[in-house]
Every structure is written in structure tokens, then in C-alpha cells.
Amino acid sequence: MTEIKQSIMIDAPASKVFEYASDYRNWPEFFEGLSDVRSVTETTDDNGARFIYKAKMMGMKVSVGTEFQQFNINEGWIGKSFKGLEHQTQWIFKDVKGSTEFTYIQKYSLPFYIGGKLIDKLFLQPTWNKIIDRSLKNLKRINEEK
């Protein structure tokens, strides 16, 4: 399983950044390549909340489903896949003297028929690193402007 981890400091309180980032309707505003996000459960901000969305990957849009687990207000959650490529994300919000240290961790596995470790190392990891970097910068910009 491949793991990508990136952090960014945001000059805004963790509660504010968490409130914005945990609202699935905001994801396409800051997370590059995400679109058509919809909830498939009544709850949208607690354990068990499920979402389906499109993620653009290597020029293709794929349908992905994620479920919130270990959801803790103002601290973060784990997003576990239930549809599409196997993946897990972790969103961590840490208060640092009135600012937020936001850490995003993505883990994924590629099916053998996509090409395995070589394709991952040469193409997917660099692409995901850029997407995540730009997405975190978008999250920072949006939360510092408001």
C-alpha cells in the first residue's frame, strides 16, 4: 500500500478549518479533481457518513465512495473506501496557538492489472503529490481569506 503524507500551516483556528473541510459540499472548491460529491446517508458529519464523488485520476474520472470513521469534531477523521479503488485518507486538524496544522494522509493500493509498483512510482505518486499539495494550498487560501 502506498502512503502519501503532507502537512500545511493555516492561519485560522482549527475549529474554523475543520468546519469548512468537513462539509462535503466544499470539497470540490478546494480538493483538486473532485466533483459531483453527494451524500448517500442521512448523516454527513459523523461516523458512518458515506459519500460518492468523481475523482479525476490520470485524465480519467472515476467514481469513488468514502465512509467517515473515527470522526472527532475539530480533530479529524479517517475516510475509508467502499467503492472504487481501495484507499484510505486521514484528515488531521491540530490547533497550534490559534492556527491549524492540517495533515492529510492518503493510502491506496493499485490492482495488479493497472501496472503495479512501477506505474505507481513513476506516474501516480508524483501526480497525487501535486494534487494534494495544490489542494492543501487551496484549503489554506480559502480559510485565510474568510
Buried b (16+ CB within 10 A) or exposed e, 105-114: bbbbebeeee
pLDDT beyond 80 at 7: yes
107-116 per-position pLDDT tens digit: 988 665 556 6
Summary mean pLDDT of the chain:
92
Helices (H), 86-124: 116-119
C-alpha 57/C-alpha 2 separation (Å) is: 16
Q: What integer pLDDT is reported at residue 121 of this predicted model?
A: 80
Query: In the predicted model, what is the mean pLDDT of residues 138-144?
Result: 98
Query: In the predicted model, what is the mean pLDDT of residues 86-97?
Result: 96
Cβ atoms within 10 Å, residue 137: 14
Q: Which domains are seen in the chain, by residue range?
A: 2-145 (3.30.530.20)
34-58 per-position pLDDT tens digit: 999 999 999 999 999 999 999 987 6
Query: In the predicted model, what is the mean pLDDT of residues 126-143?
Result: 96
CA angle 139-46-72, nearest 5°?
65
Q: What integer pLDDT is reported at residue 120 of this predicted model?
A: 76
Q: Under a CB-based contact definition with an 8 Å cutoff, are residues 64 and 84 in contact?
A: yes
Q: What integer pLDDT is reported at residue 71 of this predicted model?
A: 98
Cβ atoms within 10 Å, residue 14: 21
20-40 per-position pLDDT tens digit: 999 999 999 999 999 999 999
Query: In the predicted model, what is the mean pLDDT of residues 66-71?
Result: 98
Considering only 7-11, 103-107, 125-129, which range has the smallest mean pLDDT?
A: 125-129
